[in-house]
Structure formats: structure tokens, C-alpha cells
Amino acid sequence: MVTTDRSLTVQGVEIHLTQRNEEDYISLTDMVSKFEGGTSLIDSWLRSKDTIEFLGVWERINNPSFNSVEFDRIRFEAGTNRFRLSVKRWTESVGGTGVVAKAGRYGGTFAHKDIAFEFGSWLSPEFKLYLITEFQRFKQAEAEKGVDWNVRRTLAKVQYRVHTDAVKAHLIPPQLSSKDASFVYASEADMLNKALFGMTAAEWKSANPGTKGNIRDGATLEQLVVLSSLESQNALMISHAIPQAKRLAILNTQARAQLASLLTNPSLQQLRGGSLLGD
């Protein structure tokens, strides 16, 4: 079921929203209108093997009718020069619900908000932060009518699953016990903490005795945006068998560059002044 359209404005661009089965979907077509290449960027994104892996994880989590057999065929093709994936093929072949085509006025390609935020990262971390901020503003207005939405919960959900799936598939031998496997997951999580925050969870606890929560509970929205990006990038490097020490160095460089870009942007500082980016 699809309901009426709404819209928000991100960096001067009107981006339409719609609802499908009571879930928010964001127009990817509108999102790319400010970028050189326009809608061809959606086609390029859908050709990426990383995108296919991400969409597959999202569908497995959220879509009980997802056709995993057909998905495996698409995943096998992904990354080859001949590979193309249309929204129509995704919908018809695997029963996909995360990315849909909408006809009529304000039509185009729409994606569930989780997927739209991931697409925003692919376009630009800065643009993703603007999009999330405006979407948060929109949902806060809806909250006054009793509609709940949590930006932190949304940012954390899908990328965490993508990351842990990569760890399970490539770093944990089948014979490893659950207890030993937990050490592998913790090691990778702490590697991301080190890349972004400069310390592990245990080091943070030692430096903040008596503080409730963990190192990520006090993260700013900018840090969470970068963390979701690092989880996706780390999952890709794990699948390419890049050693952890090398991944840490790469991710730390990326984290510093992305945070510097977000934190020194004057327009984003104005948004922070409006408290929408604060804790």
C-alpha cells in the first residue's frame, strides 16, 4: 500500500517522500538532481556488487517474501561488465521491496529510508548528513502527532548487520565455538572504535570510570554518520581479505577526512546551532 506524498528540502533540493506499508521511502531520483550525472548515478550505484550485497542484507532482515535463490543469481552476475540491474528486475525477480519505481507525478526511483541513507553516503557523506538532519526535523514534526522515529536507531541498524555478516562469512571458521566467535566480532568492533574514536571500548571505560553506557552511546550524529560509512567500507575490505592492521590505517585516514569535512562545514555548523545535530 502506498500513501500520499510529502517532501523535505535538502540543500535547496526538494526531495519527495512516500509511504509503503507504513514505512518511509525517499526519492533517489530527487536526491541525485543536484549531482552531476543525474539519474545515471542510480544506475551506477545499482551495478555495484557492494550495493547488491547491501540490498540483499536489507531484504533478508525486512522482507519475509525475499527470493534468496534468485538473489544468488543476481549476486553472481554483479561486478561483471555486462551486469545491469533495474528496479523492475529487482522487484520482479527477487520480490524486492526496498527499492521501488513509482509512476505519476513526483514519480521515479524510491528507496526505504535505510537504503536511501546508504545511497546518500555513496553520493556524499556531507549530503547524507544534511538528508538525515532534514528527515529528523520532518519526523520530529510528525512526533508531535504521535509518530516515533529515532535517528540513532536507524543509523545503527542495517550497516551493523552488513558488517557482522561480512565478519561471519570471511573471518570466522565454521568450527569456531560461539565464545571464540564473539572475540572475533569484538575485535572488529574495537578496530572500528580505534579508527573513529582513537580508543577501544575497554580504553574508553578505563578513561571514564563510573560513566553509564559505552563509547558509542555518547557519539555525535556526525560520528555516527562516519561510523556507518566505516562499517560498510570495512565489510568490503574484509571480503577482499585485507589484513586488519592495514584496514585500521585506511579507515582511520577516511574517518579523519570525513569528520574534518563535516565538522568544518559552515552550513552544518548552523544546523548544529539549531540543535538538530546535538545529542
pLDDT band at 276 (very low <50, low <70, confident <90, very high): very low
- Supply 184's cell numbers: 572475533
Distance in angstroms (rounded) separating the CA atoms of residues 163 and 158: 9
> Comparing C-alpha atoms, which of 197, 130, 189 is closest to residue 160?
189
Please, are residues 192 and 216 in contact by the beta-carbon 8 Å criterion?
no
Q: Which amino acid is at 170?
A: H
For residue 68, the 8-state DSSP code is: H
- pLDDT per residue as tens digits for the range 91-102: 999 999 999 988
pLDDT, position 275? 45
**78 pLDDT above the threshold of 80:** yes
Please, are residues 162 and 57 in contact by the beta-carbon 8 Å criterion?
yes
- pLDDT per residue as tens digits for the range 131-177: 888 888 887 776 655 544 566 656 666 666 667 777 887 787 877 77
Q: Give the three-state DSSP class for 94.
A: helix
Q: Give the three-state DSSP class for 144.
A: coil
Please, are residues 60 and 149 in contact by the beta-carbon 8 Å criterion?
no
Percent of the chain that is helix, strand, coil (3-state, to 5): 60, 10, 30
Please report, for the chain, the start and end positions of each structural domain, with discontinuous segments joined by +: 6-143, 151-273
Distance in angstroms (rounded) separating the CA atoms of residues 141 and 200: 37
Distance in angstroms (rounded) separating the CA atoms of residues 151 and 11: 19
Please, are residues 90 and 78 in contact by the beta-carbon 8 Å criterion?
no
Q: Strand locations in 3-140, DSSP E? A: 6-10, 13-20, 23-27, 99-102, 108-112
pLDDT band at 202 (very low <50, low <70, confident <90, very high): confident
**277 pLDDT above the threshold of 80:** no
Pairing of strands 13-20, 23-27: antiparallel
Q: Give the three-state DSSP class for 36.
A: coil
pTM for the model = 0.60
